[in-house]
Amino acid sequence: MEQFIQQCVNALQWGSFYALIALGYTLVYGVLRLINFAHGDIFMVGAYIAFFVSTFFLLPDGLFGFSRELTLALTLPLTVVLTSLVGVTLERIAYRPLRRKGVHRLYVVITALMCGLILENGNLALLGASRKTLPDLIDKHIYTFGSIAVTNLKLWVIFAAFMVFIILHAIVTRTRIGMAMRAVSWDEFALPLMGVPLDKVIVFTFILGSGIAGLGGLLFAMSYPVLEPYMGAMTGWKAFIAAVVGGIGDIRGAFVGGFLLAMVEIMVAAFLPSTFRDLFAFSILLLILWQRPTGIFGLPTTTKI
Amino acid sequence: MNIRNVVLAAVAVMLCASQVWAQTPIRFGFPIPLTGEIPKVGESSKFAAEMLREQVNAGGGLEVGGKKYPLEFIYEDNESKPESAVNVTLKLINRDEVVGIIGPQSSRQAIPAGGVADENETPMITPWSTNPDATHDRPWVFRAAFLDPFQAPVAANFAARQFTAKTAAVLYEVSNDYSKGLADNFTQVWAKMNGAKSVLAVESHGPKDQDFSAQLTKIIGLKPDFIFLPENYSFVALIVPQARDLGYKGPFMGSDAWGSAELMNLCGNDCKGQFFSTHYAAAGAKGATREFIDQYQKKYGYVPDDVAALTWDAVNIMLKAIQQGGKVEPDVRKMRKLIRDNLARLSNFEGITGNMRFDDQGDPIKCAVVVEIADDGQFTAVESVCPQ
CATH class of B3-145+286-365: alpha beta
Relative to beta strand B348-351, strand B275-278 is unpaired
Q: Is the pTM of this model over 0.90?
A: no
Residue B368 and residue B317: Cα distance in Å, rounded? 19
pLDDT tens-place values along chain A, 305 residues long:
888 999 999 999 999 999 999 999 999 998 888 899 999 999 999 999 999 998 888 766 667 778 888 889 999 999 999 999 999 999 999 999 998 898 888 899 999 999 999 999 999 998 888 888 888 888 889 998 888 899 999 999 999 999 999 999 999 999 999 999 888 887 777 888 888 888 999 999 999 999 999 999 999 999 998 999 999 988 999 999 999 999 888 899 999 999 999 999 999 998 888 888 888 888 988 998 898 888 888 776 654 43
Whether A289 and A245 have beta carbons less than 8 Å apart is answered as: yes
Choose among B182, B157, B164: nearest CA to B172.
B182
For residue B225, what pLDDT is reported?
A: 96
Tens of pLDDT, residue by residue over B100-137, are: 999 899 999 999 999 999 999 999 999 999 999 999 99
What was the ipTM of the complex prediction? Answer: 0.89
**C-beta atoms of A269 and B36 within 8 A:** no
Closest alpha carbon to B109 in B205, B33, B204: B33
**Residue range B320-358, pLDDT digits in tens:** 999 999 999 999 999 999 999 999 998 889 999 988 888
Per the DSSP assignment, residues forming a β-bridge with B28 are: B73, B100
User: Does A234 touch chain B if contact means CB atoms closer than 8 Å?
Assistant: yes
pLDDT at B8 over 60: no
Which residues have C-beta within 8 Å of that of residue B190, sequence separation ≥ 6?
Answer: B156, B168, B198, B199, B228
Q: Which fold has domain B148-278?
A: Rossmann fold (3.40.50)
**Domain positions in chain B:** 3-145+286-365, 148-278
For residues A218 and A215, give the distance between their C-alpha atoms in angstroms, rounded to a whole number.
5
With H, G, I as helix, E, B as strand and everything else as coil, classify residue B383: strand
Q: Cβ contact (<8 Å) for A142 and B244? A: yes
**Would B3-145+286-365 and B148-278 be classified into the same CATH topology?**
yes
Provide the residue ranges of all domains of chain A, joining segments of one domain with +: 21-229
Interchain CB distance below 8 Å, B210 and A226: yes
Phi-psi region of B65 (alpha: psi -120 to 50; beta: other; left: phi over 0): left
In single-letter form, the type of residue at position A190 comes to: A
| Backbone angle region of B326, left / alpha / beta, with phi > 0 → left and psi within -120 to 50 → alpha | left
A235/B205 CB distance under 8 A:
no
Distance between CA B34 and CA A67 in Å, rounded?
Answer: 36
Number of continuous H segments (helices) and E segments (strands) in chain A: 11, 2
Q: Distance of CA B251 to CAs A126, A231, A253, B224, Å?
A: 38, 28, 42, 10
* Cβ-proximal residues to B130 (8 Å cutoff; 6+ apart), any chain: B107, B145, B146, B147, B148, B151, B178, B181, B182, B256
Overall size of chain B counted in residues: 388
In this prediction, residue B13 has a pLDDT band, given cuts at 50, 70 and 90, of low
B174, B208, B245 member nearest A275 (Cβ): B174
Average pLDDT, chain A: 90
Burial code of B254-292, b = ≥16 C-beta within 10 A, e = fewer? bbbbbbbbbbbbbbbebbeebbbbbbbbbeebeeebeeb
Neighboring chain A residues of B174 at a CB cutoff of 8 Å? 275
d(CA B294, CA A234): 41
- State whether residue A200 sits within 8 Å of chain B by CB: no
Distance CA B8, CA A299 (A): 80
- Tell me if A231 and B213 make a contact (CB, 8 A cut-off): no
User: How buried is residue A173: exposed, middle or buried, by Cβ count under 10 Å (0-12/13-18/19+)?
Assistant: exposed
When scoring B174, B208, B213 by the number of chain A Cβ atoms within 10 A, the one with the most, hence best to mutate, is B213
Q: Round to whole Å and give the CA distance between B246 and B253.
A: 18
| pLDDT per position as a tens digit, B47-97 | 999 999 999 999 999 999 889 999 999 999 999 999 999 999 999 999 999
CB contact under 8 Å between A142 and B245, yes or no, is yes
Is the pLDDT score of B156 beyond 50? yes
